Amino acid sequence: MKVALSYEMINMNSSLSGNMNLTYKWYWEDIVDWTAATGFDSIALTMVPNQFNVGRGGAPRCTLAINTKYGSAQGYLAFLNDRGIKDVCAMNVSAQAMLADMFESGKRFEDLFPEFYSYAADVTDMLAALGGKTLLVSPTPGIGALKGRFGDDEAALDKFTGEAVECLGKIAEMAASKGVKACLANDFWTLARGEQADRFLAELDPALVGYAPSTAMLRIAGADPVKELERHFDRLGAVVFTDSDFVDTVDVYASPAPEYPQFGPQQRVYKDLGYGSVDLAGAYALLKSKGFDGTVILEPRYTTNAPRALLRTRTFWTKLTKEA
């Protein structure tokens, strides 16, 4: 079992003090140093489509930014290696990120899947150049956004889901040709949430499309993370460890801003690893008992303090592996 740290611990949409640091190269280079200092040597990056504001900054969040600030993928990898990080093991792409970008780029909803494919292909090229083997694909926009478009038209939504499955299949074929395995990501607010991931997995070739479930995403969607890992063990390409105390009692998943609940008894969705109530010990024990040889990606998603989260994550992982 390999382990990596996800830089989706940092919320690029944060409004906390110091949020403007997130656009600077120095900030992310400090994070890289601290990643190595806490004993991790592999990272996973979330990528958004190449967009003007992200692309001109120093955050490794799109291929344009990496190429602009480091010259090329090779330039970025050389930097990482020099600082003690051996590779970028995985990258995430998201149809919701694509849709959000289309607002500012003036594109039409009808262009979503072709645009998503192009963005995934661009990211896959960079991932392969960085030595990564796993592309995590969140295959649909948020259910809240889709409800805004399709309303309660179940037939239209079903047709759209079919198109999303088809697009994921094409992305997986493209990725395979570059030596990368595409894996389904299960954000709790998409059409691949919880057990709804089954449709995507059933309709797509296991040799091409794996599964990379996030534990908190499973729990929030009403699924048991340990049971789901066991049920889909043969498809697991990676497992993302996330933690949470959030219980979705008011269908936040279908709201327009699901990761920022505007109503209901809870408004905080994610916690640093070990600070929530997801059964991560159970998940780890299962993976160990079954000899999982993929990567566990540790993701203190959207932490409110990145340096603290890094230290907490190291503490969490050390305790977890020692106790197991």
Partner 1 sequence: MAEQRNINYSYQTNLWGNINYKQLTNFNEWFMGDYDDSYYFQDYDKVLRYYAGAGFKGIELMIFNVPTIINIFGSMKNFKEFANERGIEKISGMFSHHIGSEDKRNHKAIFQLERQAIDALADCDGVNLIIQPCGQYYGTGPLSEEGLRNAADCMNEVGRMCADKGLAASIHNEFWCAVNKYDHEKFFDMCDPRYVFYCLDTAQVSIMGVDILEFYKKYHERVQYFHVKDTTKKAATDAERFQAGAESADDGTRWFWEPGAGHVDFPELWKLLKQYGHKGWVGIESDGTPNPLATILLTKNYIDTVLDPIYH
User: Interface with partner 1 by CB under 8 A: which residues?
Assistant: 13-26, 52-53, 56-58, 65, 68-69, 100, 103-107, 144, 256-257, 259-260, 262, 266-268, 271-272, 275, 304-305, 308
Judged by CB, which is closer to partner 1: 259, or 299? 259
Continuous segment of H or E residues that includes residue 210: strand 209-211
CB of 201 or CB of 311, closer to partner 1: 311
Contact by Cβ (8 Å): 102, 109: yes
Least Cβ distance, residue 189 to partner 1 (angstroms): 12
Tokens linked to 191: 């059409």
Q: Give the residue carrying structure tokens 């990379």.
A: 212
Least Å distance, CB 99 to partner 1, is 9
Nearest approach in angstroms of CB 188 to partner 1 is 17
Cβ closer to partner 1: 53 or 81? 53
> Looking up tokens 């997995």, which residue turns up?
201
CB–CB of 118/75 below 8 Å? no
Instruction: Using the minimum distance from each CB to partner 1, give the nearer residue, 69 or 133.
Output: 69
Closest distance to partner 1 from the beta carbon of 132 (Å): 24
Partners of 255 in beta bridges? none
In the complex with partner 1, which residue's Cβ is closer, 42 or 313? Answer: 313
Of 187 and 259, the one with the shorter C-beta distance to partner 1 is 259
The Cα 320–Cα 118 span in angstroms is 39
Q: Residue 113: beta bridge partners?
A: none
Of the chain, the end-to-end C-alpha distance in Å amounts to 13
Q: Which is nearer to partner 1, 112 or 229 (CB)?
A: 112
Minimum distance between the CB of residue 115 and partner 1, rounded to whole angstroms?
12
Q: How far is the CB of 21 from partner 1 (least distance, A)?
A: 7
Residue 190: which of 125, 259, 287, 121 has the closest Cα?
259
**Minimum distance from CB of 197 to partner 1 (Å)?**
25
Residues 6 or more apart in contact with residue 8 via CB below 8 angstroms = 44, 46, 92, 299, 301, 302
- 305 contacts 271 by C-beta, under 8 angstroms: no
